[in-house]
Structure 1
């Protein structure tokens, strides 16, 4: 017979509720399109695809699917949308006739840079609310949370 888990303390319950609220806020942010530079409104899936391709580009479609943790079919649909918006170009792989290489256009690079600035601006605003010690603890917690989520996904 399983034992009942130890009841959570009020502090632990509050921590659990705060984590739940954070997750809900992040989900809300992830549903809204945003404008990044001259690229116009982009969905979170589109801008994260642009970021995964990166400014160095030359990413294989199959590698991109792996980076994003989605199917090749889903990547194909995303790339078609990004091509239509003139943010990404497909090129044949120079040595493998089956391979398709992706790279960002100048507009895609602009969107990627604007996305980086959004993250940096947000982080800098957050830092003004925290002491040096809190920033250090926050950064360690974010690293641990990311590692935990990667292990449990």
Structure 2
């Protein structure tokens, strides 16, 4: 019996990647002692952790979501004692957000996951392959932002 299936194409692999990313988006993971965090929660922590303190409006812009959406995520993180908000000292309408010690622990644990991924990748790929991989990721991000 003849198999009519052809070898997977690049677009097939890309489709599988997108499906896997969607699955990951729904799956909570544990980072440090923060307990289970959804990808949107840990990426919110990551966005805050990069600067230490930023305006709530800057956080929404960095995440590419509305202020209402970031407020919902932030409230969940606040209930988990991972973030705090404070009034801006010079602008009464602005809110500053930052990480608690527990939030900083989650941030560091998330950074460690990324570091370990790249360390493993570097054992399997050469410098040129990693450079190409990073270029492809940047192109995919631009494509997905459109």
TM-score (normalizing by structure 2)? 0.88
CA distance in 1, matches of 2:133, 2:68: 37
CA distance in 2, matches of 1:78, 1:67: 14
1:55 Cα deviation (Å)? 4.7
Q: Look up the SS of the partner of 1:38 in the other structure.
A: coil
> Of the candidates 71, 74, 78, which is equivalent to residue 73 of structure 2?
78
> Of the candidates 8, 22, 28, which is equivalent to residue 27 of structure 1?
22
Correspondence 1:121 to 2:116: yes
CA distance in 2, matches of 1:121, 1:28: 21
Alignment of 1:21-60 (within 5 A): 21-60=16-55
CA distance in 2, matches of 1:64, 1:136: 29
CA distance in 2, matches of 1:55, 1:104: 10
Gapped runs of 5+ residues in structure 2?
1-5
Out of 68-77 and 85-94, give the one that drifted further: 68-77
CA distance in 1, matches of 2:140, 2:50: 27
| Structure 1 runs, 4 residues or longer, greater than 4 Å off | none
Q: How large is the Cα RMSD of the aligned pairs?
A: 1.7
CA distance in 2, matches of 1:136, 1:58: 32
Q: Specify the alignment match of 1:108 in structure 2.
A: 103
Correspondence 1:61 to 2:36: no
**Kept after mapping to 2: 8 A contact 1:55/1:104:** no
Q: Specify the alignment match of 1:146 in structure 2.
A: 141
1:44 Cα deviation (Å)? 0.7
Q: Look up the SS of the partner of 1:82 in the other structure.
A: helix
Q: Specify the alignment match of 2:11 in structure 1.
A: 16
